Amino acid sequence: MGNRILVTGGCGMIGSNLVKRLVKEGNDVYVIDNLWRGKLEYLNDETGKPVIDLDTHFFNIDLSVGNECDRVVFNVDYVIHLADIVAGIDYVFGNQGELFRLNNLINTHVFNSVRKAGKDRVKGLIYVGTACSFPLTRQNSLDVVPLKEEELFPALPESAYGWSKLMGQIELGFLEKETGIPCCTLMFHNVYGSPCDYGERSQVIPALIRKAVNYPKEPFNVWGSGSQGRAFIHVDDIVEALCLALEKGWEHGYIQIGPSVCTSIKEIAETIVKISGKNIEIVYDTTKPEGDKARSADYTKAKTILGWEPKVALEDGLRQQYEWVKSQIEKSGCNQ
């Protein structure tokens, strides 16, 4: 018999892929999602059938409201907390106060439900942090030195999103000490893959893929100079890390999940154009924000503790996501 596992944000890109993997491995999986960005259809298998019983195992809950998730948390062995408010850079920097407020509420309510359930009920809690929580001073140069977990403090994230996720990590540490419930924080770098939001609130890769698919009806504009870079990691590698964490990630503090290579947005844009097979003019809009200059991960800790390292080649992952977005646009008959 498998474990009873709750995945918050289980209808998003990461969550839906994780749910399918956990179900396949014989676990009894419960999902909480308010469907702000996720979709129920993301939980469907190849035949179009949901991999969980939506009547008994899916809960449309707003986690920013207190006590709403008690009834689910009290019924599971493990909680994997993915849910948060995040979108593309324009949304993140245009809604910082509200985003900070909501993410702190979401985190503290989930943690409080786990606290009330207690160690006798909940065997472990995995929280997902972000590389955005690392200090701006370590991400404001194009001369990239891979980030290490011990560099997280003194804290100076650039965005409210990074601050809100960091507050979650700190609160989780207090919860672990207070209750004795084993905890794990995985700090993700820039995750891409499918299924995904590719509309107005989408992040850089799906947004650029959408523009390439729609070109020339939609211009292929890139926000910023294109020199800014990120450590892009495919969702399949992320799911593998989460499953490994369930097995052996407990009580090891913060663990980064991402590659040691920093890839520029310019390279991403050019690779997407190559995959499209179109003669696309790339326009860089330097009036738009581009966030942190560059970052990558020293994933030594993940490799040592979890036995994890990235496996999906970037171009292979981009090609897979391009085909998925293209199929969705063709299916809908219009832009999202």
Q: Are 264 and 229 in contact (CB under 8 A)?
A: yes
Q: How many CB atoms lie within 10 A of CB 126?
A: 23
The answer to whether 221 touches 283, Cβ cutoff 8 Å, is yes
Residue 216's CB: how many other CB atoms inside 10 A? Answer: 10
Q: Which of 42, 78, 161, 198 is catalytic?
A: 161
Phi/psi for 120 (5° steps) reads -70, -20
DSSP letter assigned to residue 297: B
> What are residue 254's DSSP bridge partners?
185
> Measured between alpha carbons, how far apart are the two ends of the chain, in Å?
41
Is 161 among the catalytic positions? yes
Which residues on neighbouring strands pair with residue 6, listed in sequence order? 30, 79
The DSSP output letter for 281 is P
List the catalytic residues: 161
